[in-house]
Amino acid sequence: MYISKIKIHNVKKRISIVAVLGLLLTISMPMFANASSLGQAGVRLGRLGNGASTNNDALVTFKLNTTPTSVADVVLTFPSGFTLTAGTITPTTTGFPATPSGITVTPGTLSATVVSAGAGLGGTITVSGLTSASLTSTNLYGFDIPTGSITNPSTAGQYSITVSSDTSTPTVIDSTLVPVYIYGTSANQDQVTVTASVSPNFNFALSSNSDTIPAVDPTTIQTSAGVNMTVGTNSPLGYTAYVKSANGALVSATSPSTPISTGVFSNSTPNTLTAGTTNYTFVPSTGTACSICTGSLSYNGGYTITNGNQGGAFNGTNFAAFVSRNGYTNADVVTLKERVTVANTVAYANDYTDTLTVVAAGNF
């Protein structure tokens, strides 16, 4: 470095002496006036839609730079366009997303003061309560400003939020401009609505197509082994099952004059069978319960059987509803039996028969 130059003249000779000072160690110069940038900073708004406020939180991530242990507050300065709702809020520090990777909980008991500059005029959110002594310049810290404080600008475009680290004075230590992008012409421009319909389904099965009633005489009440009806449906209103007797009686080809007729049909009360009195009834009961279902299974009053002497009379040769569910079910198993008594005038025969038709329908 050229420091000085001295000329000495006299009458005898001219001598130039150049003195050079080599500056070898420290030289003090005027300080750079501006604060530095944060090591890293990001703001993820919960909504980018124009004017959106619903679910509009703000995940703030930052890596400190200068004197991290002097940082007491982190201040977010929102530019004009944003509307902030003034108040005191509590930032959260859980549920960070996978990226940017390695977000660390900001140490401290955080609280935030939201100052609004007016509608559409921005404002500040000052997050305080940081444990300064625990802060480093290597961690990527994060906290989330909960919904309710931020309303997006009504004009699309890029807006820059300033994220700064402040002392407790407060004096800005480092700051970084973080752009966010407000998108589209309305609040839902950042959203996609997904629609679908679930097709109705219904399934029905009988475990067998025949059922045998043990030999019956005037002294006994006999009940068949039964057939299992299984019904499944995704109808939110469930289903109803019906039964119809082909003859309203058990009839014998060899003794056609003495059918074993069904009793008096009732929608409210089952028949009570008495040995020696002819009756032919239907006895539904719940088998294996459904594992995925809503609502409940209910039996028509005429088929609500509570003991071994009861049975529901068939509705002549017409369908009669006997059970229903008011919700969906993966599989309702209902066991269908026939219960019979005979008078001593019923002719002997071993070919009494009837055909029951069982149907079910979903209530869609």
Distance CA 189, CA 154 (A): 12
- Letters for 76-95 (x = contact with other proteins by CB under 8 A, - = none) are -------------------x
Using CB under 8 A as the binding rule, whether residue 10 contacts other proteins is answered as: no
Q: Which is nearer to other proteins, 92 or 113 (CB)?
A: 92
Map the footprint of other proteins across residues 92-121, applying CB under 8 A.
95, 97-100
Structure tokens at 321: 């509803």
Using CB under 8 A as the binding rule, whether residue 363 contacts other proteins is answered as: no
Among 10, 14, 133, 169, binds other proteins (CB under 8 A): 14
Closest CA to 59 of 161, 164, 144: 144
Q: Which is nearer to other proteins, 173 or 213 (CB)?
A: 173
303: which DSSP letter? G
Using CB under 8 A as the binding rule, whether residue 326 contacts other proteins is answered as: no
Q: How far is the CB of 19 from other proteins (least distance, A)?
A: 6
Q: Are 150 and 79 in contact (CB under 8 A)?
A: no
Among 225, 246, 289, 292, binds other proteins (CB under 8 A): 292
Sign of CA dihedral 22, 25, 28, 29: positive
**Which one of 200-208, 213-221, 256-264, 310-318 is the stretch in contact with other proteins (CB under 8 A)?**
200-208
CA 281-284-285 angle, to 5 degrees, is 140
Q: How far is the CB of 45 from other proteins (least distance, A)?
A: 6
**Which one of 46-54, 117-125, 253-261, 309-317 is the stretch in contact with other proteins (CB under 8 A)?**
46-54
Using CB under 8 A as the binding rule, whether residue 263 contacts other proteins is answered as: no
Map the footprint of other proteins across residues 132-191, applying CB under 8 A.
158, 160, 176-181, 183-186, 188-191
Using CB under 8 A as the binding rule, whether residue 355 contacts other proteins is answered as: no
Among 47, 325, 337, 339, binds other proteins (CB under 8 A): 47
Map the footprint of other proteins across residues 221-260, applying CB under 8 A.
232, 234-236
CB atoms within 10 A of CB 342: 26
Structure tokens at 353: 């028969």
Q: Which is nearer to other proteins, 47 or 337 (CB)?
A: 47
Cα 216 to its chain centre, rounded Å, is: 58
The full DSSP string for 286-300 is: E-SPPSSB-S-EEE-
Q: Which is nearer to other proteins, 120 or 157 (CB)?
A: 157
Q: How far is the CB of 192 from other proteins (least distance, A)?
A: 4
Q: Which is nearer to other proteins, 10 or 169 (CB)?
A: 10
Residue that has been written with the tokens 């058990």 in this structure: 250
92: which DSSP letter? B
CA 182-185-189 angle, to 5 degrees, is 70
C-alpha distances in Å from residue 15, one per residue of 12, 19, 180: 10, 13, 68
Using CB under 8 A as the binding rule, whether residue 11 contacts other proteins is answered as: yes
Using CB under 8 A as the binding rule, whether residue 196 contacts other proteins is answered as: yes
Distance CA 112, CA 123 (A): 13
Using CB under 8 A as the binding rule, whether residue 18 contacts other proteins is answered as: yes
Among 328, 336, 339, 352, binds other proteins (CB under 8 A): 328
Sign of CA dihedral 90, 91, 93, 98: positive
Three-class DSSP category at 70: helix
Among 31, 119, 253, 264, binds other proteins (CB under 8 A): 31
Q: Which is nearer to other proteins, 21 or 264 (CB)?
A: 21
Q: How far is the CB of 181 from other proteins (least distance, A)?
A: 5
Backbone angles phi and psi of 344, in degrees to 5: -75, 0
Sign of CA dihedral 169, 170, 171, 174: positive
Among 111, 136, 168, 203, binds other proteins (CB under 8 A): 203
Closest CA to 136 of 242, 64, 58: 64
Residues in contact with other proteins, counted by CB under 8 A, come to a total of 84
Using CB under 8 A as the binding rule, whether residue 40 contacts other proteins is answered as: yes
